[in-house]
Amino acid sequence: MSGLSQLRRGRFEHPFLPVTREDVRARGWTELDVIIISGDAYVDHPAFGPPLIARFLEGRGFKVGIIAQPDWKSAEPFRALGRPRLFFGIAAGNMDSMLNRLTAQKKNRGEDQYSPGGERGKRPDRATIVYANRAREAYPGVPIVLGGIEASLRRIAHYDYWSDTVRRSILLDAKADLLVFGMGERPVMEIAKRLDAGEPIDQIRDVRGTAWPISKVEAEARSAQPSQTVSDGRVLLLPSFEDVRADKKKYALASRTLHYETNPYNARPLLQRDRFDLGGVWFNPPALPLETADMDELYDLPFNRAPHPMYRDQPVPAFETVKNSLVIMRGCFGGCTFCSITEHEGRVIQNRSADSVLRELRTMRRQGEWNGVVSDLGGPTANMYQMRCEDEKYESKCRRLSCVHPDICTHLKTDHGPLIELMRLVRKEPGVKHVHVASGVRTDLVVDGERGQEYLEELTRHHVGGQLSVAPEHVSEDTLRLMKKPPIGSYDRFTEAFKCASQSAGKEQYLIPYFISGHPGSTLDDMIAQAQYLKQKGYRPRQVQDFIPTPMSLAATMYHTGIDPLTMTPCYTAKGLREKRMQKALLLYWDPEQHELVREALTLARRTDLIGTRPECLVPPAPHRRPPIHKQQAPIKARRRAS
């Protein structure tokens, strides 16, 4: 049943975006301007990227429809809404399609969090490429614009963990017209307006936050001319796809260059040739971040905060996680090398106003099956709300990849005051019983930031439901440096402060620390030291992340090349799946199911002194096993009976 039909029955506050031709006709339209194709189920909620972009365009007068999780085995499902007047917008969904399906051990995941009922197999591998090809087959000549995190993080030649190869830009493999990287509201809006004004897609070449395929002739011409988009006029030439595929040092140099050109206020255009005798990809500087008024406008769009009714009683697991949460900001200036948040959302924190957050809370209370509990008040990081550089003159020149590593920048405003006030306002809203903070807390900002102790007291007294998520990630100094995370001593200081604040609040509360195994720089000896640390502290982590080299991340560069691209010095990486399993097992040293792997790791590292029953040991000795019955001598009584 269509969303419009359900609305007429009084179930939903707003019409869902069209998903069938019946929906299009019900609105009195004969065609759509833009069709968004998504690898996720259609959930009308701002936490889902493709519907957010669709609602954003709709709010500016464009007729937009969604084709969610089409059957890619033929072009027919891509004709479900007819031919779009302006363009197809294509996204694999909220996750990279390969990461969505496969674990760090390259095994199938148990469910797809973004599909109805958690059903697997609802999207193809490398969904962006497959969808682009089918859309072109369905309606030749319609412009194709790629977006979403899969396209964003695969926009340059990149290492692909699942095939263990270097692949060229996804833009070239998809044969698309444009690629939008990062958070796409500004670029998508400009593209739609210019196409609507009659400008051909192959002439839209200067939109910030976009990449486009460039011919050999134009590549040679543009690389020789000064750029008009930055003050120094420089265009940076990245090592070509052929070079980075053949030479790991050149791959590391390309990765280094790209990451130093991510500040939207000073980034320069980049050019990466495919091969020397061909064209390649041109990258414009990133889009400028949204101001608070723009962020407020996004979250004021008419979302139903629910999956489309076509899914009936099939819950979408990812929606169940976020349906009662409130996102207060986007972006992260932590710059962790293994994380894609900074790379996709940017380092500049983009904030919503308190009024906007409260409006969404009231909408959530009115629309959904709400029990008075806000499941999370946060974002990519719980406590970066309204923090940013103190002066634009510093921010416009800065090329630091992290504002908090190796130390908190002296120009960073770390005042927790606005966040404390927002937390208090949300708690005071009628009907609110409890407001959780489930997003990870950046502990170094609490320990060393302005009003950090006051924030911690507010947090422990009102916003911790018994457990608080934090992410120290590792104990090895070298590994933490490669991660761009603070030393473990900073986490230990936070642990003591949290314990004291919880006791002061009269509550028994615990930290849930997250750790990563197998990260570049981490050896078996480092993981053994980490297991000893965990045992000493009495931690028994249940959720351990086995490092996955996600496309375009600095840590993926380290994994593939064995080089730290920021210093161009060698770094160790656990490449074999067996060693990765052993590293993960060491973090789960307390689990009997992991003991065999832990003993193997300790033996390999010549640390058998940690196998035993003494207090300092990590695992007990291997149990004595009787040989299989067919290898034992038959008992005497049995032999006699047989005779």
Say what the pLDDT of residue 632 is.
47
Say what the pLDDT of residue 276 is.
63
For residue range 544-597, what is the model confidence (pLDDT) as tens digits?
899 999 999 999 999 999 999 999 999 999 999 999 999 999 999 999 999 999
Q: What single letter denotes the amino acid at residue 322?
A: V
pLDDT over threshold 90, residue 351 = yes
Say what the pLDDT of residue 642 is.
34
For 269-291, the DSSP string reads: -EEEESSTTS-EEEEPPPPPPPP
Q: Where are the alpha helices (DSSP H) in 237-331?
A: 241-246, 248-259, 292-299, 317-322
Say what the pLDDT of residue 239 is.
95
* Mean of the per-residue pLDDT values of the chain: 92
Between vectors from CA 538 to CA 533 and to CA 541, what angle results, nearest 5°? 80
Say what the pLDDT of residue 631 is.
47
Nearest of 228, 305, 298, 243 to residue 274 by alpha carbon: 243
pLDDT over threshold 50, residue 33 = yes
Confidence band of 639 (pLDDT split at 50, 70, 90): very low
| Distance between CA atoms of residues 40 and 57, nearest Å | 19
Contact 4, 16 (CB under 8 A): yes
Going by the DSSP 8-state scheme, the letter that residue 90 receives in this structure is E
Residue 565 corresponds to which tokens in the numbers above?
């691209």
Nearest of 423, 526, 525 to residue 479 by alpha carbon: 526
pLDDT over threshold 90, residue 338 = yes
For residue range 203-232, what is the model confidence (pLDDT) as tens digits?
999 999 999 999 988 888 877 666 555 556
CATH 3.30.360.10 fits 324-440+449-459, yes or no: no
Residues in the chain, total: 643
**Residue scoring higher pLDDT (504 or 544):** 504
Whole-structure pTM value? 0.92
Say what the pLDDT of residue 312 is.
87
pLDDT over threshold 60, residue 98 = yes
Nearest of 221, 217, 254, 214 to residue 237 by alpha carbon: 254
Contact 519, 482 (CB under 8 A): yes
pLDDT over threshold 70, residue 638 = no
For residue range 524-557, what is the model confidence (pLDDT) as tens digits?
999 999 999 999 999 888 778 999 999 999 999 9
Percent residues over pLDDT 90 in the chain:
85
Where does 3-209 sit in CATH, by number? 3.40.50.280
Task: Say whether 175 sits in a helix, a strand or coil.
Answer: coil
Confidence band of 263 (pLDDT split at 50, 70, 90): very high
Q: What is the mean pLDDT of residues 229-257?
A: 89
Half-sphere exposure in the Cβ direction for 499 (13 Å, CA): 6
Nearest of 385, 394, 352 to residue 263 by alpha carbon: 394
How do the domains of the chain map onto residue ranges? 3-209, 213-286, 324-440+449-459
Say what the pLDDT of residue 320 is.
92
Q: What is the mean pLDDT of residues 402-425?
A: 97
Strands 467-473 and 510-517: parallel
Cis geometry, peptide bond prior to residue 213 (ω within 30 degrees of 0) = no
Percent residues over pLDDT 70 in the chain:
93
Residue 497 corresponds to which tokens in the numbers above?
């402060």
Confidence band of 313 (pLDDT split at 50, 70, 90): confident
**Residue scoring higher pLDDT (642 or 378):** 378
Say what the pLDDT of residue 641 is.
36
For residue range 140-197, what is the model confidence (pLDDT) as tens digits?
999 999 999 999 999 999 999 999 999 999 999 999 999 999 999 999 999 999 999 9
Say what the pLDDT of residue 310 is.
95
For residue range 101-110, what is the model confidence (pLDDT) as tens digits?
999 999 999 9
**Residue scoring higher pLDDT (598 or 368):** 598
Whole-Å CA distances, 445 to 174, 439, 442 = 42, 14, 6
Residue 198 corresponds to which tokens in the numbers above?
């009659």
Confidence band of 623 (pLDDT split at 50, 70, 90): confident
Confidence band of 393 (pLDDT split at 50, 70, 90): very high
Say what the pLDDT of residue 624 is.
73
Q: What is the mean pLDDT of residues 8-19?
A: 78
